[in-house]
Structure 1
Amino acid sequence: MRCLLVGRVSLCKSRQGFGFSQKCGLVNVKLKWVKDKELDAVVVGEKHVKAVSNLVSLLSSSPDYTLPIFHRGQLGLPPDLKLSSFLRRFPNIFVQRDTRFGLTSEAIDLHREEAHLLELNKGDLLARLCKLLMLTRERTLPLHSIDHLRWDMGLPYDYRHSLLPSHPDLFSLVKLSSDLVGLKLMHWDERLAVSHLQGLRNDDPMAFPVKFTRGFGLKRKSMEWLHEWQRLPYTSPYLDASHLDPRTDLSEKRNVGVFHELLHLTIGKKMERKNVSNLRKPFALPYKFTKVFERHPGIFYISLKCNTQTVILREAYDRRHLLEKHPLVDIRAAFANMVTSRGLYQKSLVDDFGTKIIYPEEEESESGSDYPLVVLL
């Protein structure tokens, strides 16, 4: 279903934002959450990949790719999880030798390939980091906030030492008022101050691509509100929005635009909800700003898999497949295959010569419903 909606307001590209009479109050519309098994599969398919990748990067920092077991505190594992138990889950990635643990040759090769790709795509990663800082009010983020987003942004595990010092013209470490250390962007780059949506469209008004799971039904009132909301002016997330009344739908559209852009800056077009919880002040967002995820299920999907809430940008996926793949996606897919391959071998027998024979079980074939695409223009 496609609806062509003609707006009556014009966009202004000044840094001060848009001149618009804010008469539209924030409508209390509640839209139901509908499970999306295809996008849930994306989250489940990457279970443990982040932890494994971090551990591989940490081990690779050692000349012989091994570290003592007492280094487990650096791994970010749950306190009730024994390191030896974690290592035994992935014998094709990790090896344990007495009091040290290391990497298999396959894991070392994959890490080297990842490092090579990071070097080849350094310009892209720098642009992503610059745009992330440009989304903030002061072009500054605490380092711990960037640490939470590091994996999603595709930054190297040791980006503080391998990336930042090489670019003093772009970044500076600053002491924040809360005694935290922050990363500040030295100069505003107008060439980067174009959102993904602006790069795709030049229509007036700009509307977000909307995509619902099969079986998702919108009530008439909700559909009418969504149509009117899409007709509101689009405020670029790179513009100063302090003039917007946070109680209006116009402000909410700007907030949606911020997260729409933030998710487009990530490698997998998704991130854990908890990792954006401390971005309210830097991004100049209102209290309870993450409620936009529930209010706009056609733009965002919240997966509840793996004991966390993962926010996924719907438009970026065709079923469970990314439409635009960063080179790092294939590396992470390779890690995911190494992680999940441990579960493909269930049966083993010993033949007459004492040799252990492994019989692989067949993988389940992909299945799932297609998506109806609704783009409100």
Structure 2
Amino acid sequence: MLRLLLGRAGSSSVISLRRDGFAYEQRFSLVNIKLKWVKDRALDAIVAGEGELRAACLLVSILACDPRHCLPIYHLLKHRKQLGLSPDLRLSTFIRRYPTLFSEFPVIAGGSTVPWFCLTDGALKLHQEEIEIFQANETDLVERLQKLLMLTRDRILPLQTIDQLKWDMGLPNDYSFSLVPHYPQLFSFIHLPDDRIGLKLLCWDERLAVSQLQKSSLAAAVEHYHHQWQQQGVQTLGFPIRFTRGFGLKKKCMQWLEEWQQLPYTSPYVDASHLDPRTDVSEKRIVGVFHELLHLTLQKKTERKNVSNLRKPLGLPQKFTKVFGRHPGIFYISHKCATQTVILREAYDCEKLLQKHPLVGIRERYAAMMKEGLLNRSRGLYKSSPCKSQEEDKDHSLQELEFSTPYNILSEDNLDENLRAPC
């Protein structure tokens, strides 16, 4: 039964759906099954290795926007909140950890020394390569954004919600004015009822309205590795399932999961308002939505908090994130870096990402440069900076400022002006 349940690695297993007993019950009620969480060291290592990478890449992007590629500490402090660093870590301390990316020089101003930071030649060269990859993969990034909006009921998301996902999806940090305006036939900025600015998809692309699970199923069917069962036009697909080594399933859980895999699959791109949220059929649809959402990310993972405000746009019931815990064979929740990160298990072989986007390669090179800088610094190859963080102490209040555009104060008249690139 276990082999039937799990199927081949990386593929789904589907069996004929019975109408009696357990399968029938799942159609009309949500079965009360709870699977345990088991630590996965390989997937935890993926999250832990990215602890400070995002902050460093964002700082590189900010500094690269300046014509001199150099800014004072009090300017960088304005972006503090978006960096996601620990509150007790000084920004200047963080920047000085990575001398292969950032160099520092003091400037005397008002009788005190102010630290200025600029990009090293290596960081500037790597950033230029990153821009070239953005340009070469622009169509792919635009389609990811289209599919994200197509998952929602009204094809609309607040920019703040997209901002939370832009790193994971590979969107440029300044996507709202460097990418979106180039496609006026696809996207439009709109004012939401709560006075925020939202992004609306103007046209539906049927070519994109196919989930990754459906694509994989079709490919597997062609190779005769997968069988799909249909009744009255309803498609039945099972999700690829992998468990942490040593994960034990009780017989009751195995039976439930086997039957759950056989339930009808509802594409995340179709209207599911007719489904009763109290059933396992509805739960399978929710799993399908997040399965697809994670496939839209570069590394098939995102922080749990990034999807917490997607309930209404995606038309999901209350406590929808419980599906992550109920399906540990599909999703893994890592607790590293003082947060919860949801990872799609099928995308990894131990720590290896099976399908690597070119932007992931750039991020790995940033990580390698950061590691080299830490090692060189520990060997004493860099002198300690004579600068004191006096200005950082004076401007500590700037840490509360947001880097993102204050969408809530934009008016229709100044919308275009506020979304124009600052660099």
* Equivalent position of 2:157 in the other structure: 141
Contact kept in structure 1, 2:14 and 2:237, CA below 8 Å? no
* Equivalent position of 1:109 in the other structure: 125
Distance 1:184 1:309 in 2: 29
Distance 2:175 2:31 in 1: 42
1:173 alignment partner, SS class: strand
- Residues 1:254 and 2:259 are matched in the alignment: no
1:7 alignment partner, SS class: coil
Alignment of 1:317-328 (within 5 A): 317-328=348-359
* Equivalent position of 1:278 in the other structure: 309
Alignment of 1:279-298 (within 5 A): 279-298=310-329
- Residues 1:177 and 2:181 are matched in the alignment: no
2:314 alignment partner, SS class: coil
Contact kept in structure 2, 1:128 and 1:153, CA below 8 Å? yes
Distance 1:348 1:209 in 2: 46
Distance 1:190 1:256 in 2: 22
1:171/1:243 CA distance change after superposition, 3 Å: same
Deviation at 1:344, TM superposition (A): 3.4
1:163/1:349 CA distance change after superposition, 3 Å: closer
* Equivalent position of 1:241 in the other structure: 272
* Equivalent position of 1:207 in the other structure: 238
1:97/1:236 CA distance change after superposition, 3 Å: same
Alignment of 1:89-108 (within 5 A): 89-98=97-106, 99=114, 100-108=116-124
Distance 1:300 1:287 in 2: 19
Match of 1:341 among 372, 385, 389: 372
* Equivalent position of 1:227 in the other structure: 258
Match of 2:30 among 15, 23, 26: 26
Deviation at 1:6, TM superposition (A): 2.4
* Equivalent position of 1:371 in the other structure: none
- Residues 1:299 and 2:330 are matched in the alignment: yes
Deviation at 1:132, TM superposition (A): 0.2
TM-score, with structure 1 as normaliser: 0.87
- Residues 1:216 and 2:247 are matched in the alignment: yes
Cα RMSD after superposing both structures? 2.1
Between 1:265-274 and 1:194-203, the stretch displaced more is 194-203
* Equivalent position of 1:54 in the other structure: 58
Contact kept in structure 1, 2:45 and 2:351, CA below 8 Å? yes
Match of 1:73 among 78, 82, 86: 78
Where has structure 1 moved over 3 Å in runs of 4 or more?
20-23, 77-80, 342-350
- Residues 1:82 and 2:82 are matched in the alignment: no
Distance 1:346 1:74 in 2: 25
1:262 alignment partner, SS class: helix
Distance 1:300 1:271 in 2: 11
Distance 1:249 1:198 in 2: 20
Task: Deviation per CA, 1:175-216: give whole Å up to 9, x if none.
Answer: 111111100000000000000000111422200000001100
* Equivalent position of 2:398 in the other structure: none
* Equivalent position of 1:269 in the other structure: 300
Letter in 2 for 1:50: R
Deviation at 1:24, TM superposition (A): 2.7
1:348/1:182 CA distance change after superposition, 3 Å: closer
Deviation at 1:347, TM superposition (A): 6.6
Structure 2 unaligned spans of 5+: 5-12, 19-23, 107-113, 219-227, 230-235, 384-423
Deviation at 1:349, TM superposition (A): 8.1
Letter in 1 for 2:281: L
**Number of corresponding residues:** 343
Distance 1:121 1:290 in 2: 31
Letter in 2 for 1:281: K
Contact kept in structure 1, 2:104 and 2:117, CA below 8 Å? yes
1:349/1:244 CA distance change after superposition, 3 Å: closer
Alignment of 1:155-194 (within 5 A): 155-194=171-210
Deviation at 1:335, TM superposition (A): 1.1
1:348/1:120 CA distance change after superposition, 3 Å: closer
TM-score, with structure 2 as normaliser: 0.78
1:125 alignment partner, SS class: helix
* Equivalent position of 1:130 in the other structure: 146
Contact kept in structure 1, 2:26 and 2:260, CA below 8 Å? no
Letter in 2 for 1:6: I
1:159/1:347 CA distance change after superposition, 3 Å: closer
* Equivalent position of 2:39 in the other structure: 35
Task: Deviation per CA, 1:70-91: give whole Å up to 9, x if none.
Answer: 1111242455432211111111
Deviation at 1:346, TM superposition (A): 7.8
Deviation at 1:241, TM superposition (A): 0.4
- Residues 1:6 and 2:15 are matched in the alignment: yes
Distance 1:21 1:245 in 2: 13
* Equivalent position of 2:421 in the other structure: none
Task: Deviation per CA, 1:293-315: give whole Å up to 9, x if none.
Answer: 00000000001111111100000
Contact kept in structure 2, 1:22 and 1:245, CA below 8 Å? no
1:67 alignment partner, SS class: strand
Contact kept in structure 2, 1:195 and 1:236, CA below 8 Å? yes
* Equivalent position of 1:370 in the other structure: none
Contact kept in structure 1, 2:298 and 2:357, CA below 8 Å? yes
1:179 alignment partner, SS class: coil
Question: When you count helix as a share of all residues, which structure comes out higher?
Answer: 2
Between 1:200-209 and 1:326-335, the stretch displaced more is 200-209
